[in-house]
Structure 1
Amino acid sequence: MPPPLLPPPLTLLDKYHGPDFRALYTTTVSVTGGDAAHGRASGVARSDDGNLDITLRLPAALGGPGGGTNPEQLFAAGYAACFHGALSLLAAKAGIAIPDARVDASVTFGRDPVDGLFTLKADITIHLPGIDRAQAEALVRHTERFCPYAKMARQGIVNIVSLAV
């Protein structure tokens, strides 16, 4: 029988004081084009450890066949999972039990009025049933400052695009 799953240690809440970015974990996901030779329309996404292996399909709302996941769903899942994890850590540190907590992330793909191209919009809704409203608001406010996805959505991200030859 495998060992029980445990949450990460509260030491992840310890602040880092150093001059440079300190990597804690890196993953790589590769996308290939599939039948349509187009990653978004018919691609396959695979992680370097093999734990993620999914079919990508353009959603019907964008003129595709559906029947697979899409980048917006993947981003929403990552954002919701990260926010839920950060919320859980901060609640544990504060001694607040949140067994029924739920984080909903809605990600919308749309047109950018600034450049006429595309952009994403994220709406994050946190459900904390049974928690005092003022306590829940404070916990969500702290989580928004702590969660790296929320921080990225608010401040941007270091983004390096390079061509491998």
Structure 2
Amino acid sequence: MAYTTEATTVGGRDGRAILEHGKLSLAMALPKDMGGSGEGHNPEQLFALGWSSCFGQAILALAKKHDLDGQRAKVTVAVSIDKDDVSFMLSAKITVALAGADPEKLRALADDAHRICPYSRATHGNVAVTVDIA
């Protein structure tokens, strides 16, 4: 095991989430779009933060292979939650931007990053994901 972290939440989507050792504590709130106050954070936001950071690291790891400067890459992850007749489900849109980059090289880099990013691998086949370049 390379790394493990732990978080605890009391009160669900309208509660408080705390990382181990109290290093980060967040008020959680149901989004206004879902009937809540929106006066806190929600799991989808935190998932988007983690995924964009992780995907950005995959970009950095692979950029040289594609003759691109990964340090200048910007990764945006939009996470959506929706409901069907049975339950809720997530979807995501990942956008990789790199000013001045050759679009074909950037597309290949984004696709490779999607193959190795742990968040992308964990959601493969379970979450509808699109990967775009800008």
Gaps of 5+ in 2: 127-134
The alpha carbon displacement at 1:49 in A equals 3.4
Quick one: which amino acid aligns to residue 71 of structure 1? P
Match of 1:121 among 76, 91, 94: 91
2:3 alignment counterpart: 25
- 1:3-30 per-residue CA deviation (whole Å, 9 max, x = no partner) reads xxxxxxxxxxxxxxxxxxxx21000000
TM-score, normalised relative to structure 2:
0.85
Instruction: Tell me the residue number matched to 2:124.
Output: 154
Question: As a proportion of its length, which structure holds more helix?
Answer: 2
Identity of aligned residues (%): 38
The CA distance in 2 between the partners of 1:93 and 1:30, in whole Å, is: 39
CA positional deviation for 1:120: 0.7
1:70 aligns to 2:42 (yes or no) = yes
C-alpha distance in 2 between matches for 1:111 and 1:88: 35
Does residue 46 of the first structure (1) align with residue 24 of the second (2)? no
User: What TM-score comes out, normalization by structure 1 length?
Assistant: 0.70
Q: 1:87 aligns with which of 59, 62, 80?
A: 59
Task: State the AA in 2 paired with 1:147.
Answer: C
Contact 2:16/2:28, CA 8 A, preserved across alignment: yes
Superposed CA RMSD in Å reads 1.6
Pairwise CA distance, 1:140? 1.0
Aligned pairs, number: 126
Q: CA deviation at 1:155?
A: 4.2
Letter in 2 for 1:40: R
Shift of 1:111: 1.1
Partner of 2:131: none
**What letter corresponds to residue 128 of structure 1 in structure 2?**
L
- The equivalent of 1:102 in structure 2 is 74
**Aligned match of 1:60:** 32
Q: Rg: which structure is higher? A: 1
What is the CA–CA distance in structure 1 between the aligned matches of 2:54 and 2:84, rounded to whole Å?
26
Q: How far apart, in 2, do the equivalents of 1:103 and 1:153 lie? A: 17
